[in-house]
Amino acid sequence: DAGITQSPRHKVTETGTPVTLRCHQTENHRYMYWYRQDPGHGLRLIHYSYGVKDTDKGEVSDGYSVSRSKTEDFLLTLESATSSQTSVYFCAISGGGLNTEAFFGQGTRLTVV
C-alpha cells in the first residue's frame, strides 16, 4: 500500500469553527490532492499541490485553503466550517509525469453540526 496517512479519520465539529485535516505521505511523490466524496457526486477535486509551497484550486475550492510546507505533508483547512462541508475527504498522491496513477488515503469523515 502507498504510504499515505490521513488524520484524523473521524471528526465532528460545530458550524463556524476552523478545522484542519492532515495528509502525510512517505513516498516522496511530487503531487498531492484533496478530494471530497458526496453521494451522487463521486469525488471532486478541492485543491492540489505540485510541489512545496505550490498549490492550485480544484473544482470545489470555495471555503477551503491548503498549505504544503514540506514534501510529505499537505494540510486542508476549513476556515469556518459549514454543514455543506460535511463529507468524506480523501487525500491522494501521484508521482506526476506520464503513465502515473494516483494513490488514495483511507479518508476522513467530517461531520459539521
C-alpha cell, 26: 512517505
Cell 480523501, located at residue: 90
Q: Which is nearer to another protein, 45 or 75 (CB)?
A: 45
Decide whether 14 or 53 has the Cβ nearer to another protein: 53
What count of other Cβ atoms lies within 10 Å of the Cβ of residue 26? 11
Residues in the chain: 113
Question: Is 106 a binder of another protein (CB under 8 A)?
Answer: yes
Binding another protein (rule: CB under 8 A), the pick from 21, 23, 33, 60 is 33
What does the alpha-carbon distance between residue 36 and residue 48 come to, in Å, rounded to a whole number? 12
Least distance to another protein from the beta carbon of 2, Å? 9
User: Measured between alpha carbons, how far is 94 from 78 in angstroms, rounded to an integer?
Assistant: 24
Which residues partner with 46 through β-bridges? none
Q: How far is it, in rounded angstroms, from Cα 93 to Cα 104? A: 7
Of 21, 66, 90, 110, which one interacts with another protein (CB under 8 A)?
90
Q: Does 102 bind another protein (CB under 8 A)?
A: yes
CB nearer to another protein: pick between 7 and 80: 7
Selected from 7, 28, 50, 84, the binder of another protein by CB under 8 A is: 50
Question: Using CB under 8 A as the criterion, which residues of the chain lie in contact with another protein when the complex forms?
Answer: 30-31, 33, 35, 40-45, 48, 50, 58-59, 90, 92, 94, 96-107
